[in-house]
Amino acid sequence: MSSHPENPIPTRDTVLVVGAGPAGLAAGAALQAAGVPFLIVDPGQDVGGIWNGEAQSPVWQAMAPITSRDLTQFEDLLMPASFPAFPSAEQLTKYLRAYAARHDLTEHFRPGVTVRTAVPFDENVWQVELSTGEISVYRALIVATGTSSVPHLPTWARGVADRELGREVRVVHARDWNGAQGLEGRRVLVVGSGQSAADIAVDAATRALEVRWSIRTGHWVVPRSIAGTPGDVAVAREPALLGPLNARIAETVVRRTVGAPEKVGLPAPQAPLLEDRVIVSDDVLSRIQEGRVRPAADVSALEDDGAVRLVDGSRLEPDVIVLATGYQEGAQFLPADLLPTSGAGTRDLFLGAFPRGRDDLVLLGQVRVAGSPWPLLAQQARIAARFLRAVRDGDPGAEAFRRLRRGSDDAVPAHAPRADGRPEEGLRGRLAEGLERIQDLSRRQATPRRVLEPGQLPFVDRGDLAARLRAVETVLGEDSAADRLPAPPR
């Protein structure tokens, strides 16, 4: 048993939070509110994760955040009214530092420290080796390394560093992209179907001789704002009661505002707009129309002469290949066989964060959603902190949460019940029941979790996940209402 000089509480009674980005700060704030001792470690010298403003951050100079202020901010600290609808990277850095200061998190933060290994020896007993060489025992781990910590490489790109190609080709992952400087006279191939690929293609087109964009899956492209309203806010305000009509109206508005992706040579979207993992950009379709970014088919192979073979049989000879191909599950310091996997090859986590068989481990944000995940991370963090407190105090809410965790995510009601557990009565109750039936039907028809390759983080519907997290929060609320939600069917 040990303790750190700045923290007199023995680590044996402490929760170790790994990562000081938005997820780690949300975890720290929740643990602080719950009265659970904690320590945060992060390789950066300041809080913020990828938004810490340091040179090593994957945020490049021209990068423009695409999620709005209203749907990115934490509910316990609103962003200043002086911030624009879409805050800059610098403003997000300042906001996260202010959030840490508000909750006194810097007192619990050890900068420049990573976790080498973390091994559980018993329930609530983790032996952790830090990059400093210290070995300590912690009560629990909250992994808050985010969704951008371990780059995912397509099969054809693995082992490129060890290959001798016939010509010099620089291959980088989107996480290591630092802007278009130095691309003059060079041919760039951007590989990927999502937001990062679109942003990097637009950025590269400002300097590069040629930019090709290799795309496997078609997605809707929407502007950052629609009629002066941030796009993510507009979608959040749409009434679920309209169902398919809502989607048709939205698709018509987007087609008239920015045009259809397939008309500029991109693959047609495979999902309805309100179910799609949309690309938010004011520029990418214009760059394609101008010929400064040219769509290409999916990549099938990187050949020995350095050329890239596409699935349509054509060949490209890029000087730079940027892999905007997503990320794998993080926490490489955990034992590989610690957690079971789902049929899709991802870790089997309840509501995207909670291992079903462990009370002393949480992995925040292990799903991807459209828009900012920060509010969802805060919900998961509150549940984690309250559960760890309930376990420590022997509160019956802990067992109620375990019952839910043993079942499927779909077994959790996607609405919070009344405080007294009884349904609403009269007209209000009938309307609420009818709306819940419509929403449940919509969720049953929604696109299932999409995982392109084993190990990639799955995509889930953010509204559905937020609603289920709200329902679970009632189990572990301040009054520890242990019996508000029914146990899932066994």
Q: How far apart are CA 328 and CA 332, in angstroms?
A: 10
Residue 195 has pLDDT above 60, yes or no: yes
247-266 average pLDDT score = 83
Q: pTM of this prediction?
A: 0.81
Residue 371 has pLDDT above 90, yes or no: no
Q: How far apart are CA 349 and CA 466, in angstroms?
A: 15
- Please tell me the predicted confidence (pLDDT) of residue 438: 42
Which of the listed ranges 133-137, 364-368, 478-482 does the model predict with the highest average pLDDT? 133-137
Give the number of other CB atoms < 10 A from CB of residue 411: 16
- In the chain, DSSP finds a helix count (H) and a strand count (E) of 10, 24
pLDDT-based confidence at residue 317 (cuts at 50, 70, 90): very high
Residue 368 has pLDDT above 70, yes or no: yes
Residue 167 has pLDDT above 90, yes or no: no
Lowest mean pLDDT among 70-79, 325-334, 449-458: 449-458
Residue 435 has pLDDT above 60, yes or no: no
pLDDT digits (tens, 9 = 90+) for 22-37: 999 999 999 999 999 9
- Please tell me the predicted confidence (pLDDT) of residue 490: 40
- Please tell me the predicted confidence (pLDDT) of residue 486: 40
147 within 8 A of 327, measured Cβ to Cβ: yes
- Please tell me the predicted confidence (pLDDT) of residue 7: 53
300-326 average pLDDT score = 93
Q: How far apart are CA 409 and CA 405, in angstroms?
A: 8
Residue 329 has pLDDT above 70, yes or no: no
Residue-by-residue DSSP string for 332-380:
TTS-TTSS-B-TTSSB-EETTTEETT-SSEEETT-SB-SS--HHHHHHH
Query: What is the Cα 169 distance to its own chain's centre?
Result: 31
Mean pLDDT of the chain: 83
- Please tell me the predicted confidence (pLDDT) of residue 234: 66
Domains and CATH numbers, the chain: 11-149+328-473 (3.50.50.60), 153-325 (3.50.50.60)
Query: What is the Cα 119 distance to its own chain's centre?
Result: 25
- Please tell me the predicted confidence (pLDDT) of residue 379: 96
Residue-by-residue DSSP string for 129-186:
EETTS-EEEESEEEE---SSSEE---GGGTTGGG---SS--EEEEGGG---STT-BT-
- Please tell me the predicted confidence (pLDDT) of residue 2: 47
- Please tell me the predicted confidence (pLDDT) of residue 158: 85
Give the percent of the chain with pLDDT over 90. Answer: 52
Q: Could you tell me which residue, 443 or 365, shows the higher pLDDT?
A: 365
Pairing of strands 140-143, 361-363: parallel
pLDDT-based confidence at residue 354 (cuts at 50, 70, 90): very high
Q: Could you tell me which residue, 463 or 429, shows the higher pLDDT?
A: 463
- Please tell me the predicted confidence (pLDDT) of residue 239: 52
- Beta-bridged to residue 143, according to DSSP, are 18, 363
Residue 154 has pLDDT above 80, yes or no: yes
- Please tell me the predicted confidence (pLDDT) of residue 130: 96
175-203 average pLDDT score = 93
Residues in the chain: 490
Residue 351 has pLDDT above 70, yes or no: yes
Q: Could you tell me which residue, 326 or 60, shows the higher pLDDT?
A: 326
254-270 average pLDDT score = 88
Inter-CA distances, 410 with 345, 403, 468, 482, Å: 19, 14, 9, 20
Residue 449 has pLDDT above 60, yes or no: no
